């Protein structure tokens, strides 16, 4: 008998699933969930990104809803934050911001639903 092997979806796959679910579930809020696209594929693109203000460690997604920004870092079950991501989380939280690590579509759905169900201040 072969051992059970669990294949983890990539963080890219999780992000695509989350974005597509939000896009299809909340068409009135399209554009409020967006990516910062802070990955560079080579040194030239990295230098250009840096010159344009793209900062290493920034969360994968930002969601703006009801006057507040939520920073969302996507990781699969085996993923972990880089030192730059931990520093960005500390910076966001030091300013009273919301930062969340999400590891699945289901966690993302729960997060978005909870954001939508928060009472307005």
Q: What is the pLDDT of residues 34-82, one digit of tens each?
A: 987 666 677 777 677 677 777 788 999 999 999 999 999 999 999 999 9
pTM of structure: 0.84
Name the strands in the sheet holding 61-65, side by side, starting at the edge strand that comes first in the sequence. Answer: 33-35, 61-65, 68-74, 98-102
Q: CA torsion sign, 101 to 49 to 64 to 26? A: negative
pLDDT of the residue at 3: 59
How do residues 79-94 score in pLDDT, each as one tens digit?
A: 999 999 999 999 999 9
| Rounded Cα distance, 120 and 24, in Å | 24
């Amino acid at each position: 008998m072969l051992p059970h092997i669990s294949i983890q979806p990539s963080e890219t796959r999780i992000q695509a699933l989350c974005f597509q679910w939000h896009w299809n579930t909340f068409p009135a809020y399209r554009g409020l969930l967006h990516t910062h696209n802070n990955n560079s594929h080579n040194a030239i693109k990295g230098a250009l990104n840096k010159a344009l203000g793209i900062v290493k460690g920034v969360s994968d997604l930002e969601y703006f809803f009801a006057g507040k920004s939520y920073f969302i870092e996507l990781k699969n079950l085996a993923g972990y934050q880089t030192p730059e991501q931990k520093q960005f989380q500390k910076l966001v939280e030091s300013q009273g911001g919301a930062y969340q690590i999400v590891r699945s579509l289901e966690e993302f759905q729960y997060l978005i639903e909870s954001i939508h169900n928060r009472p307005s201040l």
